């Protein structure tokens, strides 16, 4: 099996873990949050909804920056989320769409391309394999969080904070804004 094909299989497996963990949550559960124990920014508000949208937007930005010549920018993601937040079913659909975009962005690379430096959203250069491996690990990491939160949070009656606004607050200074 080619290296790129193997990374593709790994990416699909960890995405399916995340998707399966999220599938078990209804909207009130997806909106539920654990109270923050400190003021450290964890890239989400601690809700399943926020984690799923964080994972989805990360896939799109890593792919766009590294493999698609920045055809999607952070501000585009914020505007897109404005169109459907806080709808949980739409968030899941967006995760599916983001994964398709992610895979399509690099599935035709040659194995030798994996050593080539590509732009990371921070502005630094990373080898392509590291970009891919980061999102593979990212999905697995967040799948575990989502699975745990499904059992730990109380359902909420009001939606969580906007992920679109979170992107505007924390990503507007990044090169891909």
Q: Does 86 sit behind a cis peptide bond, omega within 30 degrees of 0 on the bond before it?
A: yes
Q: What is the DSSP string of 101-164?
A: HHHHHHTT--GGGGGSEEE-TTS-EEEHHHHHHHHHHHHHHHHHHHHHHHHHSPP-SSPPPPHH
Each residue's pLDDT expressed in tens, for the chain with a length of 177 residues: 899 999 999 999 999 999 999 998 999 999 999 887 877 767 788 999 999 999 999 999 999 999 999 999 999 999 999 999 999 999 999 999 999 999 999 999 999 999 999 999 999 999 999 999 999 999 999 999 999 999 999 999 999 999 999 999 999 999 999
Backbone φ and ψ for 167, nearest 5 degrees, come out as -60, -45
Nearest-10 Cα torsion for 102, 174, 88, 12: 20
Nearest-10 Cα torsion for 90, 91, 92, 96: 100
8 A C-beta contact, residue 48 and residue 25: yes
Structural domains of the chain in order of their starting residue, each with its CATH number: 3-33+42-156 (1.20.120.450)
């Amino acid at each position: 099996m080619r290296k790129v094909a193997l990374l593709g299989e790994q990416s699909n497996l960890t995405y399916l873990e995340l998707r399966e963990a999220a599938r078990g949550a209804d909207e009130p559960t997806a909106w539920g949050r654990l109270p923050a124990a400190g003021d450290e920014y964890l890239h989400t508000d601690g809700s399943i909804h926020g984690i799923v949208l964080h994972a989805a937007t990360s896939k799109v930005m890593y792919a766009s920056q590294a493999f698609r010549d920045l055809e999607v920018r952070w501000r585009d993601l914020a505007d897109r989320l404005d169109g459907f937040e806080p709808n949980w079913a739409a968030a899941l659909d967006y995760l599916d769409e983001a994964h398709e975009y992610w895979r399509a962005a690099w599935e035709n690379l040659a194995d030798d391309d994996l050593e080539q430096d590509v732009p990371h959203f921070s502005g630094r250069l990373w080898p392509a394999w590291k970009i891919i491996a980061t999102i593979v690990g990212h999905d697995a990491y967040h799948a575990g969080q989502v699975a745990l939160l499904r059992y730990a949070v109380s359902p909420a009656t009001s939606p969580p904070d906007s992920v679109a606004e979170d992107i505007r607050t924390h990503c507007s200074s990044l090169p891909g804004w």
